[in-house]
């Protein structure tokens, strides 16, 4: 998180280049097309919620950004660098880390080993173990236990800790509240708020619309593999999001000028 | 006293089986490759030892500093050029590739070295022995093979549990996709795993060639015993492999004491019995952990 932002590319309409820019991405699983020309941009320091019904392509989009899923066409640019064809370890070393859906911890490894493995391609040494344990004191006590013996909330915390070990600038979180008690989810989101304050940029897939809109500045809604709505959270009502979610009415695009996205930038860049 | 002797000899023999088997256990546990050429690679190690010890005119032990690194490099090359590519084409491709490799090695060895049985020059160690009490004599060569197996297994266990390389190996064995996702570069890890497996196979081959004789077809029989040791012990558990090897060795020698004709049959019956009662093997740690993970 200490790496300086590279200079914005020259051009008349480039106030602050977005941290992440996905343009026109198509993704296929065999013959099935999961994403159709999806574009998305995330400002540095911002938090973007990615919502949509089951099968809308949210997880696919996160995996396309993080690397394990290849895009058939389109581009994934990060800090101006084209990472469309880069393998996951290279994207991680640039500062992108994914907390996968279903946590996907290594069951036979201890909590600490799970976190250490996350540092295999770390972007920097900004997140040593003690700093991670400072963020998640509840898992520090369990560091020597097998990950499979932890409760769901603790496992989710370890999954986030494992991603933090990669010292990401952009943290992708896929359904971290799935199957967890509301109190536990509340604690996890408090942690995310703290991470943002430390400069992290978040892209969050979240089923709970209310929580997504509370936690994020921007919202992107996917519908059957296409962007149905993309707007700053204050600019949309819950009803508009629900309509986009279920595909009622014409697709809307509330995106303002680039400047309104870029202004989020300064806010949390400290 | 003959029975005690048989058990002791069987345990020592089991060490040799474990030494051959640990590489098989490692490659299967990490990459899900059943390397059908593993026994033939061990025999290649024996032939390489034969060539080197003949060229330099020394007992085969002195050629190990050259032989083992060569085996490691051969393992890296095999993984990079052959197994790694095969792995990208589903589960059947690696089986076919290693089966084909096995046939190629056996036939090339027949052409290059004829099918005459050979033995390796084990120097003074091959003939030395010591006595336990008045009735039991233990060959130092068998003892060395057993202790080497224990050292290799301990070393591997330490590498796997204490180093960052070992952490990556275990993470890959748990969940390959997620290992890639969190940034582990899988190919170099796979290459070193195969390198180590081939190195242990070559070392086992040297003991096979020193203790008995070998010919181009020895590898197939070796493979069967190694494979049974792995399955009895539980796939992915190195100490299980040692116990599996010792169970095989003891069964073989003790039954052989009664009637030599039934020794190998008894080993295979033991294998079938374990498969029937505990299909995951005696020490199936990985499976247990995985199920716990799925449930937790």
SS3 content of chain A, % helix, strand, coil (to 5): 35, 25, 40
CA atoms within 13 A on the CB side of A203: 29
Confidence band of A15 (pLDDT split at 50, 70, 90): low
The three-class DSSP label of residue A47 is strand
How far apart CA A60 and CA B208 sit, in angstroms, is 52
Per CB-CB distance under 8 Å, the chain B contacts of A117 are 167-168, 171, 179, 182, 184
Provide the whole-model pTM.
0.85
Residue B216 dihedral angles phi and psi, to the nearest 5°: -60, -20
Q: State the pLDDT at residue B132.
A: 83
Distance (Å) from the alpha carbon of B140 to chain A's nearest alpha carbon: 39
A148, B285: Cβ pair inside 8 Å? no
How far apart CA B25 and CA B23 sit, in angstroms, is 5
Contact of B97 with B86, CB cutoff 8 Å = yes
Chain B within 8 Å of A105 (Cβ-Cβ)? yes
Per CB-CB distance under 8 Å, the chain A contacts of B175 are 104, 106
Distance (Å) from the alpha carbon of A249 to chain B's nearest alpha carbon: 37
Chain segment B177-189, per-residue pLDDT in tens: 999 999 999 999 9
Checking if the pLDDT of A1 tops 50, the result is no
How far apart CA A161 and CA B81 sit, in angstroms, is 36
Predicted ipTM of the assembly: 0.84
Q: State the pLDDT at residue A248.
A: 76
Per CB-CB distance under 8 Å, the chain A contacts of B168 are 117, 120
Beta strands in A180-217 (DSSP E): 201-205
The three-class DSSP label of residue A168 is coil
Checking if the pLDDT of A260 tops 50, the result is no
Chain segment B245-291, per-residue pLDDT in tens: 999 999 999 999 998 889 989 999 999 999 898 888 887 654 444 44
Cα maximum dimension of chain A: 55
A106, B177: Cβ pair inside 8 Å? no
- Contacts of residue B164, defined as CB under 8 A and 6 or more positions apart, other chains included, come to A116, A120
Burial of A204 (0-12, 13-18, 19+ CB in 10 A): buried
Q: Name which of B167, B184, B289 is nearest A148 (Cβ-Cβ).
A: B289
Contact of B237 with B168, CB cutoff 8 Å = no
Chain segment B199-230, per-residue pLDDT in tens: 999 999 999 999 999 999 999 988 998 999 99
Chain B within 8 Å of A120 (Cβ-Cβ)? yes
The three-class DSSP label of residue A204 is strand
């Amino acid at each position: 998180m200490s790496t300086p932002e590279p200079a914005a590319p020259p051009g008349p309409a480039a106030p602050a280049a977005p941290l992440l820019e996905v343009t026109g991405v198509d993704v296929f699983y065999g013959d099935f097309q999961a994403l159709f020309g999806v574009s998305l941009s995330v400002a540095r320091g911002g938090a973007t919620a990615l919502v949509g019904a089951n099968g809308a392509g949210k997880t696919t989009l996160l995996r396309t950004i993080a690397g394990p899923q290849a895009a058939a066409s389109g581009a994934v640019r990060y800090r101006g660098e084209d990472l469309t064809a880069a393998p996951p370890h290279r994207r991680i070393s640039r500062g992108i880390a994914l907390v996968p859906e279903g946590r996907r911890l290594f069951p036979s490894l201890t909590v600490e080993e799970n976190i250490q493995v996350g540092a295999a391609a770390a972007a920097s040494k900004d997140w040593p173990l003690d700093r991670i344990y400072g963020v998640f004191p509840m898992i520090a006590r369990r560091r020597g236990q097998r990950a499979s013996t932890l409760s769901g909330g603790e496992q989710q915390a370890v999954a986030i800790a494992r991603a933090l070990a990669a010292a990401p600038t952009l943290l992708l979180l896929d359904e971290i509240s799935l199957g967890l008690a509301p109190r536990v989810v509340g604690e996890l989101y408090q942690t995310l708020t703290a991470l943002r304050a430390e400069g992290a940029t978040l892209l969050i897939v979240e089923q709970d619309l209310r929580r997504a809109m509370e936690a994020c500045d921007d919202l992107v809604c996917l519908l059957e593999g296409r962007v149905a709505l993309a707007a700053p959270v204050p600019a949309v009502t819950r009803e508009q999001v629900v309509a986009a979610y279920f595909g009622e009415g014409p697709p809307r695009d509330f995106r303002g000028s680039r400047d309104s996205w870029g202004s989020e930038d300064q806010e949390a860049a400290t | 006293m003959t029975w005690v002797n048989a058990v002791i000899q069987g345990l020592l023999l089991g060490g040799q089986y474990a030494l051959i088997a640990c590489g098989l256990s490692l490659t299967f546990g990490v990459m899900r490759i059943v390397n059908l050429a593993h026994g033939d690679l061990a025999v290649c190690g024996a032939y390489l030892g034969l060539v080197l010890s003949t060229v330099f005119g020394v007992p085969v032990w002195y050629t190990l500093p050259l032989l083992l690194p060569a085996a490691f490099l051969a393992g890296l090359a095999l993984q990079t050029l052959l197994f790694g590519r095969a792995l990208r084409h589903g589960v059947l491709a690696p089986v076919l590739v290693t089966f084909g490799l096995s046939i190629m090695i056996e036939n090339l060895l027949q052409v290059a070295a004829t099918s005459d049985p050979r033995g390796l020059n084990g120097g003074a160690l091959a003939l030395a022995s010591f006595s336990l009490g008045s009735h039991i004599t233990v060959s130092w060569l068998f003892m060395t093979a057993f202790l080497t197996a224990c050292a290799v297994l301990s070393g591997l266990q330490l590498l796997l549990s204490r180093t960052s390389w070992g952490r990556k190996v275990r993470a890959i064995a748990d969940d390959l996709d997620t290992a890639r996702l969190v940034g582990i570069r899988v190919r170099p890890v796979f290459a070193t795993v195969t390198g180590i497996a081939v190195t242990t196979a070559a070392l086992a081959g040297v003991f096979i060639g020193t203790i008995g004789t070998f010919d181009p077809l020895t590898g197939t029989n070796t493979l069967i015993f190694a494979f049974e040791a792995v399955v009895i012990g539980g796939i992915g558990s190195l100490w299980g492999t040692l116990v599996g090897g010792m169970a095989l060795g003891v069964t073989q020698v003790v039954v052989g004491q009664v009637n030599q004709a039934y020794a190998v049959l008894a080993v295979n019956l033991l294998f079938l019995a374990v498969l029937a009662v505990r299909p995951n093997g005696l020490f199936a740690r990985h499976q247990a952990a995985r199920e716990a993970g799925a449930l937790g």
